[in-house]
Amino acid sequence: MNLTHLSKDTLVTVVNGQLPGPTIEVTDGDSVIIHVVNKSPYNVTIHWHGVKQRLNCWADGVPMITQCPILPNHNFTYRFNVTGQERTLWWHAHVPGLRATLHGAFIIRPRHGAGSYPFPKPHREVPIIIGEWWEMDLAQVATDLSNNSLFDFNSASTINGKLGDLYNCSGVAEDGFVLEVEPGKTYLLRLINAALLMEYYFKIAGHRFTVVASDANYVNPYDTDVIAIAPGETVDALLVADARPGKYYMVAFPYQAPKPSIQGPEYITRGMIQYSSGNGAPVLLSTSNGTTGEEEGGGPSADVPIAPEMPDHNDMVTSLYFRGNLTSLRRPQLPTLVDERLFITLALGSVCRRGRVCERGSTNDESITVATLNNVSFELPAAAETPLLESHYYNTGGVDVLRELPARPPKVFNFTDRDLIPYGPKEANLEPTSKATLARRFRHGAAVDVVFQSTSLMQSESNPMHLHGHDMFVLAQGLGIYDAAKDVARYNLVNPPVKNTVLVPSLGWAAVRFVADNPGVWFMHCHFEFHLSMGMAAVFIVEDGPTADTSLHPPPADFQTCGHDESLMLQKMGIDKRRVKSEDARS
Ligand code: C2O
């Protein structure tokens, strides 16, 4: 549909006519069925970000990894159970670029009602989705990123789809999101960062938050006046309306690594909270024309909203502290014996276009900037006619030929040397890299430690690393180069936060542990869209366990293949093969 912002009509792809898309609310233990009817001109899939999809990788929604893309004018039905999870997740398209407008909240209520929250039941619960307004064709944005090393930028930031009064449309301020609050009541904000490009700080003037959960896992209540949230993450925070009645801006503003890293635009967005007496009459208030509602607080702040003070656009430290203060509320079942250790560097590099030899720094046409894990950039299999999960399940050999994600980077260098940031002579010999379909296999039940190391190769961004199908225990984070000899001592093995997306700090590292107990083919990638499109990704293949209860289930009966007769045939063969296999397992 066409939306008008910043004095311009822009054609955007949305779900059910809404931006953000509809909130999906379920209860822990529910079976969920979602029919996707693709009326857009693009191939799409929908990913249920953070939903564990236990034994059910088929519903994970990653094109050519777990399913064929849903073609224009085609349908697809997602079926999955939500088990043992509660609070805030989200859903988004998992095709390049389009998740900027195809996303929404995915809320999981506890089995036993709000009375079972580990905090007093809030008066209201409100999704706050931080997003971006793009005036460009998002499919084009993604192509630019993966082919031409072009950096495109959004035109504004949004809270719940609204740009707010720092932007205007032909001189009239844009609408902002307004949250009505009653004095003394408590609100639960469900923050989601759905942006493609930026991490955000979130503040509300005159108020503090108590963070109670992140990525659908409870944390020990943490009191703060600022929330840091990276793409892919969610944060649940309590807000008590305990200020003098009036209007207060809520602000989301992007932050990023300082120069010489490339600087994205500083697009701040704001909405507001507005006190009302709660006598029932809704106060309709637009931030666009400065009208005040019929409810007035009477204080000096009633007419002029108060704005919060912001950290700096290049402040990476506040984010580091915010994350360092999170601990898990419920003691997670943390394995103490580790089966496998990976050290993964996150970097940029360059490759030559297929079939050509090129000099570094030659014309843009010849070399492409890519993003890498241990110096390899992810690409889907060249003739990707069968999604990897299908090849894996039916044992067609398709996943055996993939390049193994190395357990260490090929070269050790001063990973966080600031002199490597600018494109220049110093990083030249570290720059060449290659492309492959990177995969790593894990034995069922393996306890895996991963240290993600951000590097300064041609940038110094942080990296929100997201793992599908599993949560990770975040054991520690730090600046500089990870040093096992001293950093293992800093691991929180008691109550580490449990996350599906871990922010690896700029010029620093994060250490996580996860148990590979969910069989399937799971994407693992940076949740910055530019890093993902440029190849900062791999698949984790988790093998079946010994029993039917620990093995990937067969695909649903109506699971669509990519329309090749051959794969239909394989499916038939596979099902037979499979039956034999599980009978073996039982006997
Ligand atoms: Cu939220 Cu693979 O993504």
Show me where the domains of the chain are located: 119-324, 340-549, 556-586
Overall pTM > 0.85? yes
Ligand 1 pocket, residue 92 CB under 6 Å: yes
Whether the link from the prior residue into 20 is cis, omega within 30° of 0, is yes
CATH of domain 119-324: 2.60.40.420
Ligand 1 pocket, residue 99 CB under 6 Å: no
Per CATH, is 340-549 categorized as 2.40.50.840?
Answer: no
Ligand 1 pocket, residue 466 CB under 6 Å: yes
CATH fold match for the domains 119-324 and 340-549: yes
Ligand 1 pocket, residue 190 CB under 6 Å: no
Check: CB of residue 547 under 8 Å from CB of residue 585.
yes
pLDDT tens, residue order, the chain (587 aa): 999 999 999 999 999 999 999 999 999 999 999 999 999 999 999 999 999 999 999 999 999 999 999 999 999 999 999 999 999 999 999 998 999 999 999 999 999 998 999 999 999 999 999 999 999 999 888 888 777 656 789 999 999 999 999 999 889 999 999 999 999 999 999 999 999 999 999 999 999 999 999 999 999 999 999 999 999 999 999 999 999 999 999 999 999 999 999 898 999 999 999 999 766 444 444 444 333 333 334 444 457 899 999 899 999 999 999 999 999 999 989 999 999 999 999 999 988 876 566 766 555 567 888 999 999 999 987 655 789 999 999 998 888 889 999 999 999 999 999 999 998 888 888 888 999 999 999 999 999 999 999 999 999 999 999 999 999 999 999 999 999 999 999 999 999 999 999 999 999 999 999 999 999 999 999 999 999 999 999 999 999 999 999 999 999 998 988 765 444 444 444 443 443 344 344 33
Tell which atom from ligand 1 comes closest to the C-alpha of 501.
1
Tell which atom from ligand 1 comes closest to the C-alpha of 92.
1
What tokens were used for 14? 């949305």
In angstroms, what is the span from residue 106 Cα to ligand 1's centroid?
13
Picking from 87, 116, 91, the residue whose alpha carbon sits closest to that of residue 101 is 91
Picking from 439, 446, 374, the residue whose alpha carbon sits closest to that of residue 410 is 374
Ligand 1 pocket, residue 47 CB under 6 Å: yes
What tokens were used for 532? 């993902």
pLDDT digits (tens, 9 = 90+) for 499-548: 999 999 999 999 999 999 999 999 999 999 999 999 999 999 999 999 99
The helix/strand/coil state of 311 is coil
pLDDT digits (tens, 9 = 90+) for 86-130: 999 999 999 989 999 999 999 999 999 989 999 999 999 999 999
The total of other beta-carbon atoms located within 10 Å of residue 67's CB is 25
Atom 3 (ligand 1): residue with closest C-alpha?
A: 49
Ligand 1 pocket, residue 323 CB under 6 Å: no
The total of other beta-carbon atoms located within 10 Å of residue 396's CB is 16
In angstroms, what is the span from residue 234 Cα to ligand 1's centroid?
12
